[in-house]
Amino acid sequence: MDDNFVKEITNIDEDFAKWYTDIVLKAELADYTDTKGCIAMKPYGYAIWEGIQKYADQKFKETGVENVSFPQLIPESLLQKEKDHVEGFAPEVAWVTEAGGEKLEERLCIRPTSETIISTMYSKWLSSWRDLPFLYNQWCNILRWEKETRPFLRSREFLWQEGHTIHETEKEAIDRARQMLDIYANIAENLLAIPVIKGIKTESEKFAGAVYTYTIESMMRDGRALQSGTSHYIGQNFSKPFEIKFQNREGKEEYAYQTSWGISTRLIGGLIMAHGDNRGLKLPPKVAPIQIIIIPIAQHKEGVLEKAFELKNQLSKMFRVKIDDRDKYSPGYKFNYWEMKGVPVRIEMGPRDIEKGECILVRRDNGEKIIVKLEELNKKIESILENIHNDMFQSCKERMEEKTSVAYNLTEFKNHMEENQGFIKAMWCGKEECEDKIRELTGAKSRCMPFEQEHISDKCVCCGEHADKMVIWGKQY
Amino acid sequence: MDDNFVKEITNIDEDFAKWYTDIVLKAELADYTDTKGCIAMKPYGYAIWEGIQKYADQKFKETGVENVSFPQLIPESLLQKEKDHVEGFAPEVAWVTEAGGEKLEERLCIRPTSETIISTMYSKWLSSWRDLPFLYNQWCNILRWEKETRPFLRSREFLWQEGHTIHETEKEAIDRARQMLDIYANIAENLLAIPVIKGIKTESEKFAGAVYTYTIESMMRDGRALQSGTSHYIGQNFSKPFEIKFQNREGKEEYAYQTSWGISTRLIGGLIMAHGDNRGLKLPPKVAPIQIIIIPIAQHKEGVLEKAFELKNQLSKMFRVKIDDRDKYSPGYKFNYWEMKGVPVRIEMGPRDIEKGECILVRRDNGEKIIVKLEELNKKIESILENIHNDMFQSCKERMEEKTSVAYNLTEFKNHMEENQGFIKAMWCGKEECEDKIRELTGAKSRCMPFEQEHISDKCVCCGEHADKMVIWGKQY
pLDDT digits (tens, 9 = 90+) for B42-59: 999 999 999 999 999 999
Please report which helix (H) or strand (E) contains residue A384, including its range.
helix A377-402
Q: Is the CB of residue A157 less than 8 Å away from at least one CB of chain B?
A: yes
Question: What ipTM score was computed for the predicted complex, to two decimals?
Answer: 0.96
Q: Tens place of pLDDT for every residue, chain A, 477 residues?
A: 445 566 789 999 999 999 999 999 999 999 999 999 999 999 999 999 999 999 999 999 999 999 999 999 999 999 999 888 888 898 999 999 999 999 999 999 999 999 999 999 999 999 999 999 999 999 999 999 999 999 999 999 999 999 999 999 999 999 999 999 999 999 999 999 999 999 999 999 999 999 999 999 999 999 999 999 999 999 999 999 999 999 999 999 999 999 999 999 999 999 999 999 999 999 999 999 999 999 999 999 999 999 999 999 999 999 999 999 999 899 999 999 999 999 999 999 999 999 999 999 999 999 999 999 999 999 999 999 999 999 999 999 999 999 999 999 999 999 999 999 999 999 999 999 999 999 999 999 999 999 999 999 999 999 999 999 999 999 999
- Chain B CB contacts of A124 under 8 Å are 31
pLDDT of residue A1: 41
Contacts of A422 (CB under 8 A, 6+ apart): A219, A223, A400, A402, A403, A404, A405, A474
Q: Using CA atoms in the order A185, A186, A192, A193, what is the torsion angle rounded to 10 degrees?
A: 90
**Interchain CB distance below 8 Å, B124 and A31:** yes
- Cα separation, B5 vs B281, in Å, equals 11
Which of the residues B29, B34, B134 would you substitute to probe the A interface, choosing the one with the greatest number of A C-beta atoms within 10 Å? B34
- Closest CA–CA distance from residue B28 to any residue of chain A (Å): 10
- Cα separation, A105 vs A146, in Å, equals 26
Select from B216, B198, B194, B345 the least CA-distant residue to B268. B194
- How far does Cα B451 stand from its chain's mean position? 20
B358, pLDDT greater than 50? yes
Mean pLDDT of all residues in B77-102 = 93
Domain boundary assignment for chain A: 4-275, 292-387, 404-474
CATH number given to B292-384: 3.40.50.800
pLDDT of residue A105: 96
- Rounded percentage of chain B residues whose pLDDT exceeds 90: 96
- Closest CA–CA distance from residue B12 to any residue of chain A (Å): 26
Select from A210, A211, A233, A215 the least CA-distant residue to A225. A215
- Closest CA–CA distance from residue A431 to any residue of chain B (Å): 30
pLDDT of residue A5: 63
B4, pLDDT greater than 60? no
Buried b (16+ CB within 10 A) or exposed e, B44-56: bbbbbbbbbbebb
Q: In A, residues 36-75, which contact B (CB 8 Å cutoff)? A: 38-43, 46-47, 49-50, 66-75
**Interchain CB distance below 8 Å, A117 and B34:** yes
Select from A43, A9, A30, A17 the least CA-distant residue to A290. A43
CB-closest option in A68, A146, A147 to B41: A68
- Cα separation, B355 vs A420, in Å, equals 74
Q: Where do runs of H (alpha helix) occur along A81-233? A: 83-89, 115-125, 170-186
Cβ atoms of B207 and B84 closer than 8 Å: no
Identify any residues that bridge with A264 across adjacent strands, giving them in sequence order.
A160
Please report which helix (H) or strand (E) contains residue B424, including its range.
strand B423-428
pLDDT of residue A6: 65
Q: Where do runs of H (alpha helix) occur along A196-301? A: 266-275
pLDDT of residue A367: 96
DSSP symbols for B274-318: HH-BTTB----TTT-S-SEEEEESSTTSTTHHHHHHHHHHHHHTT
Contacts of A437 (CB under 8 A, 6+ apart): A410, A462
- Closest CA–CA distance from residue A420 to any residue of chain B (Å): 36
- The SS3 of residue A349 is strand
Please name the amino acid found at residue B355: E
pLDDT of residue B32: 98
User: Looking at residue A191, what DSSP letter applies?
Assistant: I
**Interchain CB distance below 8 Å, A117 and B74:** no
- Cα separation, A214 vs B392, in Å, equals 49
pLDDT of residue B84: 87
pLDDT of residue B235: 98
Omega before A133 within 30 of 0, i.e. cis = yes
Cβ atoms of A424 and A474 closer than 8 Å: yes
Contacts of B365 (CB under 8 A, 6+ apart): B282, B344, B388, B391, B392, B395
Q: Which one of 3.40.50.720, 1.10.4190.10, 3.30.43.10, 3.30.110.30 gives the CATH number of domain B404-474?
A: 3.30.110.30
**Interchain CB distance below 8 Å, A140 and B141:** yes
Pairing of the two strands A134-143 and A66-67: parallel
- Cα separation, B410 vs A191, in Å, equals 65
pLDDT of residue B142: 98
Give chain B's largest Cα–Cα span.
82
- Cα separation, A176 vs A132, in Å, equals 13
CB-closest option in A35, A71, A147 to B73: A35
Please give the residue that has the higher pLDDT: either B91 or B5: B91
pLDDT of residue B1: 41
pLDDT of residue B334: 96
Cβ atoms of A347 and A374 closer than 8 Å: no
Select from B253, B3, B262, B229 the least CA-distant residue to B113. B262
Q: What is the pLDDT of residues B205-229, one digit of tens each?
A: 999 999 999 999 999 999 999 999 9
Q: Is the CB of residue B97 less than 8 Å away from at least one CB of chain A?
A: yes
- Chain A CB contacts of B47 under 8 Å are 66-67
Q: Is the CB of residue B25 less than 8 Å away from at least one CB of chain A?
A: no
pLDDT of residue A441: 96
- Give the orientation angle of helix A266-275 with respect to helix A377-402, to 10 degrees: 90
B366, pLDDT greater than 70? yes
Cβ atoms of B82 and B90 closer than 8 Å: no
Please name the amino acid found at residue A136: Y
Return mean pLDDT, chain B. Answer: 96
Size of interface A-B (CB pairs under 8 A): 152
CATH number given to A292-387: 3.40.50.800
Select from B361, B341, B6, B55 the least CA-distant residue to B193. B55
Pairing of the two strands A257-264 and A225-235: antiparallel
Q: What is the pLDDT of residues B225-262, one digit of tens each?
A: 999 999 999 999 999 999 999 999 999 999 999 999 99
**A4-275: CATH architecture:** 2-Layer Sandwich (3.30)
Q: How many Cβ atoms are within 10 Å of A202's Cβ, its own excluded?
A: 21
Identify any residues that bridge with A474 across adjacent strands, giving them in sequence order.
A445
> Is the torsion defined by CA of A236, A240, A245, A250 positive or negative?
positive
